[in-house]
Each structure stands twice: as structure tokens, then as C-alpha cells.
Amino acid sequence: MTSPSPASDAAAALLAELVGNGVRDLVLSPGSRSQALALAALALARSGSLRVHVRVDERVAGFTALGIARETGLPVAVVCTSGTAAGNLLPATMEAFHSGIPLLLLTADRPPELRGVGANQATIQPGIFGRFVRLAADAEVPVLPAAPTAWSGLGERAVRAALGLEGEGLPGVPSPVHLNLPMRDPLSSAGEASAVPGEAPRAAAGEPTVLSRGPRTVVIAGADGGPDAEELSHQGGWPLIAEIVSGARFGRLVVHGYRGLLRDDALGGRIERAVVFGHPTLSREVAALLARHDVEVVAVRRGGEALNLNGRTRAVAAAAVEGGPADRQWLGAWMTASQAAAVDLTAPAPDQDGLYSHDKAARLSAVRAELDAVRQRVDRALLADAVWRATWPHDRLMFGSSRLVRSADQVLGGKKVPVHANRGLAGIDGTIATAIGIALASQAEGAAGVTRVLLGDLAFLHDVGALLLPPDEPRPRIQVIIGNDGGGTIFDGLEVAGSARTEDLDRAFYTPHAAGLREIAAGYGWDYTQVTTRSALDQALTSPVTGPQIIEVPLER
């Protein structure tokens, strides 16, 4: 007969409290010390009050949770055992802090008497995430008879802190939270867990800061800027400079070719105010603008650090525009220049007259042009364009941090689609895992749509472990589209390309590889296709998607 386990009682009560405060998803990695939390989570999954996702790699688990939280805006719990398992959550925690994503890190731990004495799988877990968490609690060890109440209140506090409603950090900005949960043997016992799902707490909406119309203004939308940026641009009649990862690149005021226009003294040189949403990271021109001391910068930011590149940026929680007419001359100059800078990668229409001409030479010329269009090799710009065209409002698009996202930012037009990217720190960590989390959340309850992630080959290889999906969990409709140029050619545009010896640049930065992506896909049970032409790519992107797919697109170095 199993002995009563205080750990099981406390774990069941804690997870029930989280569910009662709006938590709907939990990502779990297997481990002995965390077994009480795992069994309680599975019991809640059986009752339908919690969705549980199992991942063997804690780093993958952390980014999967981050992806779910990105999509839903709700706190997502991650459960792991003690030791290095907790340390593997740090990359996702850092990204969540800088991007303003609510994560709940539930790390099982040894009791105090087994810390610092060389006990197995015991390390210094309290405070392990440092300033990257808004709340860090080292809980007491559950004991009978008060085990069910040992962690009472921790769940509600954790959710409120993760949503930015209490704890240290910028008010109202979501953030990771760490609950370190020590337990003694017996680590689990037979039993069930139950919970009544509740709503997540929400802060009362504050009054927005009202901006005057006077200064010559542009609206800048960086990563996670979202539709609010487009709305303010529309209210003010101000040009909208929207990074492709912002989710704000739509509407009639979007500026095309913004990098060149910011370098133009007649436009960028005359800017007096910039209103910033999200975290701009994709161009040096925007960074230079936001660092100028002669430009008033107003930042509506959701990440854990306030934007302040010029040392006098004003942070606001929300923004609105005072009444009155827009500066049509200022807006008109930008729109005229934007129209001239727009890139159109649409294939030319077939020459119908030529195809049906009685003149043999004209007919052959038209047929040859059609064949050339069908056989056109895919480059980075065409790859980004094809993915953008295939994606619609019911889909999701995730960009990896690679050369491809910069190409996409330079050539893609406006379109209102949900876009995600881990640009809080702009690392290549966890790109596939994050996208899978986004797919799981956006496709829950039978919702339609496909999640596409566009990334480079090194970002793919860095997160290849995320391809391992449990056979008993829903298989997301996801296309991982890999622009494979055989290494890290993003370094071509950085200083090191001009300073390093050729062999050093190749070995330490480009890191060329000969990995077989087809074989990797087969090993993990993903569908795979390789395409080299635009027509084949369009067909692969628009064919019905019923599960996880890898699409490899070889690119020139």
C-alpha cells in the first residue's frame, strides 16, 4: 500500500489553484523529484481542466510553453525535476523576460537538509533565474497533516505576478515567475486531482497618454508591436514603419523600403518624434533614429526592459492622439516615397497573345518565358515572398533569427496576419519549439489554420530536438520551412566578414555542415519535401497540411 505523500497533496492543490486562476496549459518534462506535479497534471488533463504537453528536453519544454503563452497571452506552466533540468529553462526564461511573456517555472527541488551537502541531483535552485523573473519563491516543504495547504496562495500570486499585476518589474508587463518546490519522500502516492477552471485576473485598463499632433511623427512597430501600432498610425495620420515581425505591417500607411527612407535627409532627417510599439531589432537605421537626441521618443513597450536608446525616452502604458487635422504634407511625402520603394515579386502574367500567336517565333518566345517562370530558382527574397503569400489571417507565421528575416523585412508588403518571432534577445534558440507551441495553442479546440516557421539551417539544427513529438498528443499542422545555404551566412553583413581570415570566418562563424535534413525528418517522423523552384515551392506551401512537415529550400551561399 502506498504511503501518504504530502508532496502529492500539495502538488494537486497548487495546480488546482493555477487552473482556478486561468492557467490552461502545462508543459512537462519527466523526472523523479517532480513526479507529484506530473501525476497531478495528468489527472487534471484526464478531467479536461488542463492541457498537458510532454517534452523530454527541458529547453524544448521551456520554448514550447513560451510559444503557447505568446499565442494565448495567458500564463503557461513548465514543470521539471531538480538539477540541470532547471538550468535548461534559462534560455526560454530570458527570452520571455525581454519579450514580456508570462511563464510559470515550477522546478522540483531537494529539501533544505539535502542542499549543499553533495546530495545527488541537488544544486542551488533558489534564485537561479535572477532578475529574469518577477517573482521567485522558495516554497516550504509540505508535511502532514497540513500538506494540501502548504503552498496555498502561491498559485494565485504566481499568476498575478506573471501577468504584471504584482511583484518587481515594470507594472503591467507580463514576465516569468519561478516557484521552487522542495519535497521529501515519499514523492508521490495514488490519488486524483480536480480543479474548477477560472478566469485569469486582469488589470483595469488605464487612461492612455494623449499625444499632440504637432511634431513631425512616425510610428515604429518592432517585434510584438501588434495592431495597436497600426491603429495609432491611422489615428494620427502618421507614417507606419513596421518590422515584418511586428504583426503591424498592414493598412494604408505602411512605409515600404523604410531603411532607405530613414537615411534620406528630406524624410528621416526631418523626424521630430517617434512613437514606438514593441522591440525594434531588425535595422540599424531604426536604432540610429531612436538614439538621436534631437528626436522625442515615446515608447509603448511590453518587455522587461524599458526602451531608452537616447537616454531620454518617455515610457507610456498606452497612447492616443488628440483631435484635429493630420499633417497631410508630411504624410504625403512619406507615402509618395514609399510607393516608389515598394518591391513587387509577383511573377509576370502569361503572354496570352504570344502563346496563341500564329507567328512561330512569337509563340516559342512566349512558351520559353513561361518555362523560365516555372523553373525560376528560389532565392531568399522569393522564399520569403512565397511564404508570406501563402499565409492568411487564420494561419500563424513565425520567423527565426536568421538572414531570412532581414530579407523578408526588406521586400514584403502589407498584410494582416498574426506574426511571431523571438526577438526579445534575437537568439536562434528554441525557434521550432516556440512555433510548435504557437501551433498547439492556435489550433486548440479544432480551430483552423496552419503555422509556418521560416528559418535558416543553423537555427533548425540548433533546435532539432523539438521535432520529437509524443505519439499520443495532437500532431500540429505546421510547416517548418528551411532556407538551407549550408551555414551562417548572416555573418556576411557583419563586421567580422571584413576583419577575419577566410578560414577563421568559415570555421568559427559560417560553421558549414553536411547534415541530411531528409534523414533528420525521417528519423523524427515528419513529412519532408525539397523544392528548388518557385512553382514547386508554391505548390508545397498551399497543398493540404494534416500534420508536421519540413520543406527544405536550398539557397546559394
Containing domain of residue 132, as a range?
Answer: 6-182
59: CATH: 3.40.50.970
SS3 percent helix, strand, coil of the chain, rounded to 5, is: 40, 15, 45
pTM: 0.94
Give the number of C-alpha atoms closer than 13 A to the C-alpha of residue 101, restricted to the C-beta side: 33
Please check whether residues 360 and 406 belong to one and the same domain: no
Task: Give CA–CA dist 158/392, Å, rounded.
Answer: 35
CA pair distance 243, 223, nearest whole angstrom: 7
Q: Is the pLDDT of residue 105 over 70?
A: yes
Residue 211 DSSP SS3: strand
Q: Is residue 511 part of a domain?
A: yes
Return the closest-CA partner of residue 193 out of 19, 40, 49: 40
For residue 294, count CB atoms less than 10 angstroms from its CB and return exposed for 0-12, middle for 13-18, buried for 19 or more.
exposed
Residue 135: band (very low, low, confident or very high) from pLDDT cuts 50, 70, 90? very high
Segment 422-444, tens digit of pLDDT: 999 999 999 999 999 999 999 99
Q: Is residue 192 part of a domain?
A: no
Q: How far is CA 191 from the centre of its chain?
A: 37
With a cut of 90, say whether residue 191 has pLDDT above it: no
For 304, the grid coordinates are 522587461
Percentage of the residues of the chain whose pLDDT score is greater than 70:
95
In which band, very low, low, confident or very high, does the pLDDT at 507 lie, cut at 50, 70 and 90?
A: confident
Residue 311 has what pLDDT? 95
Mean predicted confidence (pLDDT) in 86-92: 98
**Which residues, including other chains, have CB under 8 Å from residue 458's CB and lie 6 or more apart?**
402, 428, 487, 488, 511, 513
Is residue 16 included in any domain, yes or no? yes
Q: What angle do CA 57, 62, 68 make, to 5 degrees?
A: 125
One domain for residues 58 and 70: yes
Q: Which single residue is written with the C-alpha cell 498592414?
A: 250
Q: Is 448 left (phi over 0), alpha (psi -120 to 50) or beta?
A: beta
Q: Residues 28-45, buried b or exposed e (16+ Cβ, 10 A)? A: bbebebbbbbbbbbebbb
Evaluate whether residue 478 is within a structural domain.
yes
Residues 299 and 350 in one domain: no
Looking at the fold, whether 142 and 171 belong to one and the same domain comes out as yes
First to last CA, the chain: 64
Question: From the CB of residue 171, how many other CB atoms can be counted at a distance below 10 Å?
Answer: 11
Tell whether 414 and 370 lie within a shared domain: no
3-state secondary structure of 301: coil
Whether 192 has a pLDDT exceeding 50, the answer reads yes
Let me know whether 544 and 395 are in one domain. Answer: yes
Average pLDDT over residues 349-358: 73
Which CATH number fits the domain that encloses residue 249? 3.40.50.1220
Same domain, 367 and 387: no
Write down the pLDDT at residue 365. Answer: 73
- Find how far residue 288's CA is from the centre of its chain: 25
Q: Label each residue of 390-458 as H, E or C.
A: HCCCCCEEEECCCHHHHHHHHHCCCCCCCEEECCCCCCCCCHHHHHHHHHHHHCHHHCCCCEEEEEEHH
pLDDT bin (cut points 50, 70, 90) of residue 190 is: confident
Q: Which of 137, 164, 182 is the last residue of a domain?
A: 182
For 478-517, b/e burial (b = at least 16 CB within 10 A) is bbbbbbbbbbbbbbeeeeeeeeeeeeebeeebbeeeeeeb
